[in-house]
Amino acid sequence: MARVLVLGAGLTGGACAALLRGAVCGRVVVWDKARGAGGRMSTSRSARGAACSADLGAQYVSPRAGRGSFFDELLSHGILKPLTAPIEGMVEKEDSCNYMAPQGISAVVKYYLKQSGADVFYEYHVTHISLRDGKWEISRKTGPPEFFDVVILTIPVPQILQLQGDIVNIINERQKQQLEATNYSSRYALGLFYEAGVCIDVPWAAKYITDNPCIRFISIDNKKRNIESPEIGPSVVVHTTVTFGSEHLDSDPAEVQQLILSHLESIMPSLPKPASVKCQKWRYSQVTKSVPNCPGHMILHTQPLLICGGDGFTCSNFDGCIDSAMSLAEAVKSHL
């Protein structure tokens, strides 16, 4: 009975675990250091009421036409719906449509995790990967190490390179160079949560901003998701520019939050004061340069199998993650 670990409960990890369902004679386990599912497809909930929520990472997905049953399931279950609310400044692509998630974008990842039947553990922060008696010994920040026959890494590439243990020597020089060649942009996201009854009166649901040094995108998130109910407070998401994100990567988070809020006030002077604000730093936001010559996945070790994938091996969108998940699952199945 093989014990398979998928590291990362983001879209790649969730989809990969779902694709492995029934293919593994044994158990598939998913670990993530965060407190919930989604990774960069996360949905934050207001402390005052879970119904008021905001997508702090991915906003909408635009799968290529003919993505197939894997995507159609999300539509038939109502996890995704066509994005019909007006988005100012959005570049429409000819070969794809845009979809939003009415319950929040993390619902996409949660759907695949549920389909996988895997055991999912949160607040499991992996620090070391080493070889012990033909198995992978996986150590985390708290708790005893555990052993696995196959390990699938779906975490951002720079975080793979931060792992300690035998993995440091297992990654050969050529692979290290390839992994080090990747690049990610950095951004901040703010989630502003309001009390029920507050009205945000703008003619758009979301808007790309082109003339502000700090803010790139604003979404009235409930409106983007067609949720306009008097019982649920509205929520606003703000994404910063990549330049602002890089320049303030190691600044005091409270100061960064204040700075973004002051820019927001200059763009939307009549925006009411929120009941609460969440500031999220995306150090590894979107891939600007993927791992060269390695589409979908990279095998780091064969016996036992250690393999990595994620959007770092494709591109930062729904298709990129699903393509990597499919490529990982195929490689694992043929290995097993």
| 192 part of the interface to ligand FAD, by CB under 6 A | no
- Residue 226 CB, shortest distance to ligand FAD, in Å, is 17
Residue 189 structure tokens: 């996201």
Contact pick of 182, 219, 290, 317 for ligand FAD (by CB under 6 A): 317
| 104 part of the interface to ligand FAD, by CB under 6 A | no
Spatial CB neighbours of 111, under 8 Å, sequence gap ≥ 6: 14, 73, 74, 77, 79
- Residue 155 CB, shortest distance to ligand FAD, in Å, is 4
| 239 part of the interface to ligand FAD, by CB under 6 A | yes
Residue 145 structure tokens: 């190490």
Q: What residues between 52 and 81 interact with ligand FAD by CB under 6 A? A: 57-61
SS3 123: coil
Residue 54 vs 232, nearer CB to ligand FAD: 54
- Residue 234 CB, shortest distance to ligand FAD, in Å, is 20
- Residue 7 CB, shortest distance to ligand FAD, in Å, is 6
CA-based nearest residue to 280, from 191, 207, 206: 191
| 13 part of the interface to ligand FAD, by CB under 6 A | yes
Contact pick of 43, 154, 178, 327 for ligand FAD (by CB under 6 A): 154
Q: At what angle do helices 318-335 and 11-20 cross, to 10 degrees?
A: 40
Contact pick of 6, 149, 224, 311 for ligand FAD (by CB under 6 A): 311
**Residue 154, number of CB atoms within 10 A of its CB:** 32
| 33 part of the interface to ligand FAD, by CB under 6 A | yes
| 274 part of the interface to ligand FAD, by CB under 6 A | no
Spatial CB neighbours of 238, under 8 Å, sequence gap ≥ 6: 189, 190, 192, 215, 217, 218, 260, 264
Tokens 């790139």 -> residue: 216
Contact pick of 5, 6, 9, 100 for ligand FAD (by CB under 6 A): 9
**Measured over all CA atoms, what is the biggest interatomic distance in the chain, rounded to whole angstroms?**
64
Residue 48 vs 283, nearer CB to ligand FAD: 283
CA-based nearest residue to 143, from 126, 129, 159, 131: 126
- Residue 196 CB, shortest distance to ligand FAD, in Å, is 27
Contact 235, 46 (CB under 8 A): yes
Number of residues this chain uses to bind ligand FAD (CB under 6 A): 39
- Residue 200 CB, shortest distance to ligand FAD, in Å, is 21
| 165 part of the interface to ligand FAD, by CB under 6 A | no
Contact 248, 258 (CB under 8 A): no
Contact 221, 236 (CB under 8 A): yes
Helix or strand holding residue 297 (H, E): strand 297-301
| 316 part of the interface to ligand FAD, by CB under 6 A | yes
- Residue 14 CB, shortest distance to ligand FAD, in Å, is 7
DSSP assignment of 169-187 equals HHS-HHHHHHHHT-EE--E
Residue 96 vs 175, nearer CB to ligand FAD: 96
Spatial CB neighbours of 70, under 8 Å, sequence gap ≥ 6: 15, 322
| 234 part of the interface to ligand FAD, by CB under 6 A | no
| 326 part of the interface to ligand FAD, by CB under 6 A | no
Tokens 């989809």 -> residue: 15
| 235 part of the interface to ligand FAD, by CB under 6 A | no
- DSSP for residue 277: E
Contact pick of 34, 168, 202, 242 for ligand FAD (by CB under 6 A): 34
Q: Which residues bind to ligand FAD, rule: CB under 6 A? A: 7-13, 31-34, 39-41, 57-61, 124-126, 154-156, 159, 187, 189, 239, 282, 285-286, 310-311, 316-318, 320-321
